[in-house]
Structure formats: structure tokens, C-alpha cells
């Protein structure tokens, strides 16, 4: 028989402690976000559909993005047991400098459209976290303003080679003068991909009002207040080049980009040169032979060629061929710190996050970006501890199995 007794009030209060209410609504909703997916849910609730879909969507049927995320889900970890990893070190050396974690913020265009703090929120959050921040050619904060927001941190510049080459050359010179240490030469955008969500939403830059956009904005007055009471949305680094926003987008995509352009930029740029958008092994080898400092395996977040190769699947073979000679990085589909750990285990020196950062931005501005970084940091640390590794250098391919879902059909 169980012995029963009347509860003592002192024992009840010892076991039950009331949580202090959080009066700050932004902090309350961000603290409730435990994953990047949670931040996405908040972002979708707080952002007009056209702006959210621009961030969230990809090209055509969005197969490239779906497959990239599925590839990270289709892994199996192999932990070491009875191997203490009480003090995990997530720091790494990348492209001649340090980073507190094995990821940085990827370049994103039109960022102030998602939330008015835009790239400044990303750069300042990156500075606080000790990780690199990448600014896009199509960014809505200038090269100089981002440097001001991250004066002592790592700033990288992503370059589109524009039809008017002098514009691109001018941006390279400005980034070098501002002290950016790495240039991301982007090669997967000869033309814009077919982003069907944007077409269906009647999306434009700057946003144009219609009956549907007004109806969608009614429950989101805070976004419109921020949008209408802050400086004009424009491509900050390009505003002196003339032309409409549409003209500049068209000019940024150039199908004539070639290896000759790469050589010219290599001669101009004093820092590290990384080619972003590599999607096959032979060209990875060729680029390293041509003397670039690194490559980013990427299909542009699934926003260009749908059904493009999955960067995470390419990673092991590219690392085997060129990993000793150059820095191999990866992006597309990363939504969890475990994705980052898996990438490092398979040989990536670094990773870049795009949508994961933007979901945080839309969910809560600078504080939302801080929350996204904190979520990824805790997931990285927890995954490493559970694997029994204390540093990134201890991660090896034996810790990961890539499970097979998409299998190429053998050719006759």
C-alpha cells in the first residue's frame, strides 16, 4: 500500500515555481522560437505575403530547394560513446581569419524589403556573434554602411558581373577600400530564375499596391509603418548608377560572363577570391587550378535552375579532389545546426546561411537575427557533444552516413 499524507504547503512551493511573465512582446515571441522553423512561422505571420514568399520561395516547382533540405534530413549520425566532450569549441579559421562558428551570413538581395533593418541588422548581429557577414551586390544597405555596422568584424562582398562592367569594377574597388576581406564571385545567375511565387503575387521592387496586397497588409500594419517611415528601398551600392530598379536587376544578370571576367576580377581584388555557385566536380577542379582561394558549392538556394545538383551530395567528392588545395564551402538548404555539423564532418570548411537568417530578421529585426544565430549555435554545440567531439577538427566522414533517396539511373 502507498502511504499517503496531506501535502505540506512548503513542499508544494518548493516543487512549483511560477515563471516571471515577460512583458516585452518581441522578446516573448522570439524566446518561444526553439528552431529556425519556429522563426519561419513567426516571420510568415508578421510579413506581407509577397515579401515573405520572395524570401521563402525558389524557382519553378521548387524541387532544388526541397531536395537540398531533404538531403540534410537523410543523414545518420554515428556518435562516439564514452568520449567526454564537455567543453565544445565551435571556432574555426576560414580564408585567413577567424570565425566563432562554422557558418556566416550569406549575401541576400532586397533585404530591407523583408524587414526595414535589413543588412544592418545582419551585419551587427554577425559582429556580436564573431562570424562573417556577406553583402550582396543587390543589397539595400551600402558597402560603407555595412562596414560601419561591423567595423572590426569579417565583411565579405558578393559580386554580380553586370552588363556594364565598369559598375562591377567600381563595386570591387569600393569593397576593397572599405576593408572587406573576401569577394564572392557569383557564377550561377546568367539570367534570373523563374520564381513563380513572385509572379503569382504580382511582386515588384519597390512593392506596388493592389487590392490583394492592401488586404494582405491589413493585419500587418507594423510592416507597412516601418516600410513607409524609413528611407526609400533601393539598391544602396548601385543608386548612383542610374536606371530603374528593374533596369538594375536586368543589368545584374549577364549570360556573357566568362573565365575572362574572373581573371580580371582576380587582378583587381587584393583579398581572398571565392567562386560561388559551383555545381559540378570538373569545374571545381578547374577553378582551383586557376588559383581561386575557395569555392561555394551552391545552387543559389534553389532560386535559379530548378532540379540543379544538390550541393550536400556533391560535397564529399569535391572535398576528396580539391579539399587539400582550397577552401570548400557549402550553402542551400541549411535549417539546423546539425546540417552545419554534417557538412563540416564531410569536409566543408565553412557554411553560409541565407533563409535561416532572414526568417529571424522578419520575426524580430536585429533581435530576431541574434535569435537565429543563437539557435544554430546551440544546435551545433549539442550535436557535437552528443557525437563526442570537442572541436570541429575532430569531425570526420565516419561520423556521417548519407542515406540514399535519389539514385542516378545507369547510362548504357
The catalytic residue positions are 300
C-alpha cell at 229: 517611415
Nearest to 240 by CA among 300, 164, 184, 315: 164
Cis status of the peptide bond prior to 206, with omega within 30 of 0: yes
Neighbours of 240 (CB within 10 A): 8
Please give the C-alpha separations between residue 195 and each of 83, 160, 360, in angstroms, as whole numbers: 47, 19, 22
Please give the C-alpha separations between residue 91 and each of 102, 128, 219, 374, 391, in angstroms, as whole numbers: 7, 14, 42, 14, 8
CA distance 175 to 333: 28
58 contacts 358 by C-beta, under 8 angstroms: no
Which neighbouring-strand residues pair with 275?
185, 295
Helices (H), 245-296: 245-252, 259-268, 281-289
| Pair type for strands 182-186 and 133-136 | unpaired
Amino acid at each position: 500500500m502507498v502511504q499517503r499524507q496531506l501535502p505540506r504547503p512548503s513542499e508544494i512551493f518548493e516543487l512549483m515555481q511560477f515563471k516571471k511573465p515577460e512583458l516585452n512582446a518581441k522578446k516573448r515571441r522570439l524566446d518561444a522560437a526553439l528552431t529556425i522553423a519556429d522563426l519561419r512561422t513567426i516571420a510568415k505571420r508578421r510579413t506581407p505575403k509577397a515579401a515573405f514568399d520572395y524570401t521563402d520561395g525558389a524557382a519553378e516547382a521548387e524541387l532544388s530547394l526541397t531536395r537540398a533540405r531533404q538531403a540534410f534530413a537523410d543523414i545518420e549520425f554515428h556518435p562516439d560513446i564514452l568520449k567526454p566532450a564537455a567543453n565544445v569549441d565551435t571556432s574555426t579559421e576560414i580564408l585567413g581569419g577567424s570565425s566563432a562558428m562554422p557558418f556566416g551570413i550569406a549575401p541576400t538581395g532586397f533585404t530591407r524589403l523583408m524587414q526595414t533593418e535589413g543588412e544592418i541588422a545582419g551585419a551587427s548581429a554577425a559582429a556580436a556573434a564573431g562570424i562573417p557577414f556577406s553583402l550582396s551586390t543587390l543589397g539595400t544597405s551600402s558597402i560603407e554602411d555595412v562596414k560601419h555596422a561591423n567595423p572590426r568584424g569579417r565583411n565579405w562582398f558578393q559580386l554580380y558581373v553586370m552588363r556594364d562592367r565598369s559598375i562591377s569594377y567600381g563595386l570591387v574597388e569600393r569593397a576593397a577600400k572599405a576593408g572587406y576581406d573576401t569577394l564572392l564571385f557569383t557564377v550561377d545567375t546568367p539570367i534570373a530564375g523563374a520564381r513563380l511565387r513572385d509572379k503569382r503575387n504580382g511582386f515588384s521592387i519597390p512593392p506596388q499596391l493592389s487590392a490583394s496586397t492592401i488586404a494582405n497588409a491589413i493585419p500587418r500594419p507594423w510592416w507597412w509603418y516601418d516600410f513607409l517611415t524609413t528611407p526609400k528601398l533601393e539598391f544602396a551600392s548601385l543608386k548612383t548608377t542610374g536606371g530603374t530598379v528593374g533596369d538594375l536587376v536586368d543589368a545584374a544578370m549577364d549570360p556573357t560572363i566568362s573565365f575572362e571576367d574572373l581573371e580580371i576580377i582576380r587582378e583587381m581584388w587584393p583579398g581572398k577570391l571565392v567562386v560561388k555557385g559551383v555545381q559540378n566536380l570538373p569545374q571545381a577542379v578547374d577553378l582551383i587550378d586557376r588559383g581561386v582561394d575557395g569555392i561555394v558549392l551552391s545552387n543559389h538556394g534553389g532560386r535559379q535552375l530548378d532540379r540543379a545538383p544538390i550541393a550536400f551530395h556533391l560535397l564529399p567528392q569535391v572535398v576528396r579532389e580539391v579539399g587539400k588545395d582550397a577552401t570548400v564551402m557549402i550553402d542551400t538548404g541549411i535549417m539546423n545546426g546539425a546540417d552545419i555539423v554534417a557538412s563540416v564532418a564531410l569536409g566543408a570548411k565553412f557554411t553560409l546561411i541565407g533563409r535561416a537568417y532572414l526568417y529571424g530578421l522578419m520575426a524580430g529585426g536585429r533581435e530576431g537575427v541574434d535569435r537565429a544565430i543563437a539557435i544554430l549555435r546551440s544546435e551545433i554545440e549539442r550535436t557535437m557533444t552528443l557525437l563526442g567531439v570537442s572541436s570541429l577538427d575532430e569531425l570526420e566522414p565516419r561520423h556521417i552516413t548519407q542515406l540514399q533517396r535519389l539514385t542516378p539511373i545507369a547510362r548504357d
